[in-house]
């Protein structure tokens, strides 16, 4: 139903106007937090933590821990850390049987002493193998790989929240096949063998499979990884999570079915993590969509960006991160923080307003375009209801569905009443130049 065709009955207008007056009164008092209003944390990690205990993290390079501009942002913004290169096989076992953990330990110490969780990356991978491993094959390689998993996971036991046990083991393209590598040639069961060894070495770490180009639900690679995880769950192979690297570029962009991918993996009984996010030219829409998609899936535990400043990025010429080379926040940062602050932690319920209430309204962010975005609201606790939604001008609601809307005189406060079409209604909001504000639920009243 369009806004123009909305019920514009006099009495309803009056009630809506009264609701607006109440909002104005509360605003005038100054310190009243409206029920259902998401709190506005000022950093990424703090805001993510408020969204159901999620994290917002970054890849960290040990060599940059002496750069105070870098650590200032790291320590302020992030509550999770992944070692960008320092836990890889060539870094931790440069010579067979000789383990070096100095740089990795520095990162772990820096993070844990500040309450940041650590993701281990990565125990078994075809890439960044030290020379001695590259030259191995067969049983000797399989045993060396398992020994590496055991030794490294044991060294960090108790300090790592999630391990990327196996990284990038599937081919791109339409085959859905495993990637050919010396590890794959040791036998198709190398992945599950690595997971079992990791579980034994660190029973409390969550064990993840991590890959890129598994973001689009329709891709053969996504489907192949999905089938592997399904098979592992069916057979009791110890896997707890899937990491979607999400390096979005022109060739592999944010797919509109990303949320479907996240929720489909989650439905297998694993957590999902966005592990290496960066997006060419850091478009605000794509960053915002990624955050909204993660917040919409209860098992999406957090987001890690692959570096802090553009100058720290493995593809710095594409300026894909949230901070510029001078350490200043980019528009993508603002979009991410706003999405986190406005997001639904799998429950941003309203509490009943004085003299009313009896129901709960929960916002779920919907799709975002360049000029507008969708929002849906689900009501529980009543079958007939009215929900008051407040929009920040110059944003304007341009269309609604599955409810009867009325408006206050400013057009910024919508009262949506049930119309018998269910307990979820939705609406489209034009941004009109303000891309970060999001609707707030002011009240939910039964009857
Ligand atoms: O530190 C040495 C330096 O001493 C030397 O002079 C220089 C010359 O090449 O190399 C430096 O090491 C480089 C290292 O990054 C640190 O900058 C390596 O050559 C380079 O290969 C390495 O690249 C890393 C890449 O993985 C290797 O595969 C990137 O930093 C790292 O961001 C990237 O991360 C991967 C994830 O692990 C898995 N997913 C994809 C992601 C992006 O490729």
Question: Does any ligand 1 atom lie closer than 6 A to the CB of residue 276?
Answer: yes
Helices (H), 187-219: 190-201
Full domain range(s) for residue 65:
44-342
Residues 250 and 323 in one domain: yes
Same domain flag for 129 and 253: yes
**CA atoms within a 13 Å half-sphere pointing along the CA-CB vector of 204:** 7
268 within domain boundaries? yes
Place of tokens 């009867």: 404
Query: How do 404-407 and 80-83 pair as beta strands?
Result: unpaired
Residues 285 and 390 in one domain: no
Using CB atoms within 10 Å of the CB of residue 183, give its burial: 0 to 12 exposed, 13 to 18 middle, 19+ buried: buried
Q: Please report whether residue 141 resides in a domain.
A: yes
86 CA → ligand 1 middle, Å? 10
pTM recorded for the entire structure: 0.74
In sequence order, what are the residues at sequence separation of 6 or more whose Cβ sits closer than 8 angstroms to the Cβ of residue 22?
Answer: none
Instruction: Give the CATH number, domain containing residue 258.
Output: 3.20.20.80
**Radius of gyration over every alpha carbon of the chain, rounded to an integer in angstroms:** 24
Is the beta carbon of 314 within 6 A of some atom in ligand 1? Answer: yes
Assigned domain for 18 exists: no
Q: Give the whole-angstrom CA distance, residue 396 versus residue 267.
A: 35
Of 310, 342, 374, which one is at a domain's C-terminal end? Answer: 342
Our answer to whether residue 276 is catalytic in this structure is yes
CATH of the domain at 438: 2.60.40.290
- Please state whether 158 falls in left (phi above 0), alpha (psi between -120 and 50) or beta: left
- Residues 169, 306 within the same domain: yes
For residue 81, the cross-strand partners are 58, 118
> Domain check: are 380 and 290 in the same one?
no
Same domain, 304 and 367: no
The verdict on the CB of residue 64 being under 6 Å from ligand 1 is: no
Alpha helical stretches, state H, 156-207: 190-201
Compute the distance from residue 122 Cα to the ligand 1 centre, in Å: 13
Residue 84 near residue 60, CB atoms below 8 Å: yes
Query: Which atom number of ligand 1 is nearest to the Cα of residue 245?
Result: 39
Number of domains comprising the chain: 2
Residue 144, both tokens: 């060396």
Both 310 and 198 in a single domain? yes
Atom nearest to 128 CA in ligand 1: 28
Residue nearest to atom 26 of ligand 1 (CA): 85
In a domain, 11, yes or no: no
For residues 214 and 257, the answer to whether their CB atoms sit within 8 Å is no
| Pair (369, 314) in one structural domain | no
Q: Of ligand 1's atoms, which has the minimum distance to the CA of residue 122?
A: 37
Active-site entry in 50, 168, 276, 318: 276
128 in contact with ligand 1, CB cutoff 6 A: yes
Q: Note whether residue 221 is domain-resident.
A: yes
How many helices (DSSP H) and strands (DSSP E) are in the chain?
12, 17
Is 103 strand, coil or helix? helix
Q: Are 287 and 332 in contact (CB under 8 A)?
A: yes
How close is the Cα of 4 to the center of ligand 1, in Å?
56
Listed residues 292, 310, 342: the one ending a domain: 342
Is 84's C-beta closer than 6 angstroms to any atom of ligand 1?
yes
Which protein residue's CA is at the shortest distance from atom 43 of ligand 1?
Answer: 314
Whether residue 214 is found in the same domain as residue 126: yes
Residue 348, domain member (yes or no) = no
| 281 and 421 belong to one structural domain | no
Q: Do 338 and 364 share a structural domain?
A: no
What does DSSP say about strands 404-407 and 413-417: parallel, antiparallel, or unpaired?
Answer: antiparallel
Going residue by residue through the chain, which has 447 residues, state the pLDDT in tens, using 9 for 90 and above. 334 333 334 444 434 443 444 333 333 332 233 334 444 899 999 999 999 999 999 999 999 999 999 999 999 999 999 999 999 999 999 999 999 999 999 999 999 999 999 999 999 999 999 999 999 999 999 999 999 999 999 999 999 999 999 999 999 999 999 999 999 999 999 999 999 999 999 999 999 999 999 999 999 999 999 999 999 999 999 999 999 999 998 666 899 999 999 999 999 999 999 999 999 999 999 999 999 999 999 999 999 999 999 999 999 999 999 999 999 999 999 999 999 999 854 333 333 333 357 888 887 777 888 898 888 888 888 899 999 888 888 889 999 999 999 998 888 889 999 999 889 999 999 999 877 778 877 788 888
**Percentages (nearest 5) of helix, strand, coil residues in the chain:** 35, 25, 40
Please list, in sequence order, all residues whose beta carbon lies within 8 angstroms of the beta carbon of residue 272, skipping any fewer than 6 positions away.
Answer: 241, 242, 243, 244, 262, 265, 266, 297, 299, 300, 301
Kindly report the number of other CB atoms within 10 A of residue 257's CB atom.
15
**What is residue 59's three-state secondary structure?**
strand
Smallest Cα–Cα separation from 153: which of 119, 111, 201?
A: 201
- Does residue 2 lie within any of the structural domains? no
Return the SS3 of 407.
strand
Domain boundary among 314, 342, 370: 342
CB atoms within 10 A of CB 95: 10
Residue 157, in any domain of the structure: yes
Whether 384 and 330 map to the same domain: the answer is no
């Amino acid at each position: 139903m369009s806004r123009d065709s909305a019920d514009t009955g006099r009495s309803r207008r009056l009630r809506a106007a009264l609701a607006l007056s109440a909002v104005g009164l509360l605003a005038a008092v100054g310190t009243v937090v409206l029920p259902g209003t998401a709190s506005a944390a000022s950093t990424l990690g703090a805001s993510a933590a408020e969204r159901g205990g999620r994290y917002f993290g970054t890849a960290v390079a040990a060599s940059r821990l002496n750069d105070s501009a870098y650590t200032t942002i790291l320590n302020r913004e992030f509550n999770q850390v992944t070692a960008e290169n320092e836990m890889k096989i060539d870094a931790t076992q440069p010579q067979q049987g000789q383990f070096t953990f100095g740089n990795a330990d520095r990162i772990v110490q820096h993070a844990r002493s500040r309450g940041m969780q650590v993701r281990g990356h990565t125990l078994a991978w075809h890439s960044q193998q030290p020379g001695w491993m590259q030259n191995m094959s067969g049983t000797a390689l399989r045993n060396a790989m398992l020994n590496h998993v055991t030794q490294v996971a044991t060294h960090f036991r108790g300090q790592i929240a999630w391990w990327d046990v196996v990284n990038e083991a599937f081919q791109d393209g339409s085959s859905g096949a495993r990637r050919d590598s010396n590890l794959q040639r040791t036998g198709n069961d190398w992945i599950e063998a690595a997971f079992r060894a990791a579980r034994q070495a660190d029973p409390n770490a969550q064990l993840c499979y991590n890959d890129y180009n598994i973001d689009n639900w329709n891709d053969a690679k996504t489907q192949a990884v999905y089938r592997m995880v399904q098979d592992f769950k069916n057979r009791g192979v110890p896997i707890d999570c899937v990491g979607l690297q999400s390096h979005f570029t022109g060739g592999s962009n944010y797919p509109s079915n990303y949320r479907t991918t996240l929720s489909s993996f989650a439905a297998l009984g694993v957590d999902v993590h966005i592990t290496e996010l960066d997006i060419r030219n850091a478009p605000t829409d794509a960053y915002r969509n990624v955050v909204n998609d993660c917040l919409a899936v209860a098992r999406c535990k957090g987001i890690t960006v692959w570096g802090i400043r553009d100058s720290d990025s493995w593809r710095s010429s594409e300026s894909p991160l949230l901070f510029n080379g001078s350490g200043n926040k980019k528009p993508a940062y603002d979009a991410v923080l706003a999405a986190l602050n406005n997001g639904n932690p799998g429950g941003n319920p309203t509490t009943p307003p004085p003299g009313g209430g009896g129901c709960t309204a929960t916002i779920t962010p919907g799709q975002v375009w360049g000029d507008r975005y969708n929002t849906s609201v689900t009501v529980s606790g009543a079958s007939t209801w009215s929900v008051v939604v407040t929009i920040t001008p110059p944003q304007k609601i341009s269309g609604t569905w599955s409810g009867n809307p009325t408006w206050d005189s400013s057009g910024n406060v919508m009262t949506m009443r049930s119309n018998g079409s269910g307990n979820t209604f939705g609406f489209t909001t034009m941004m009109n130049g303000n891309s970060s504000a999001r609707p707030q639920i002011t009240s939910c009243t039964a009857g």
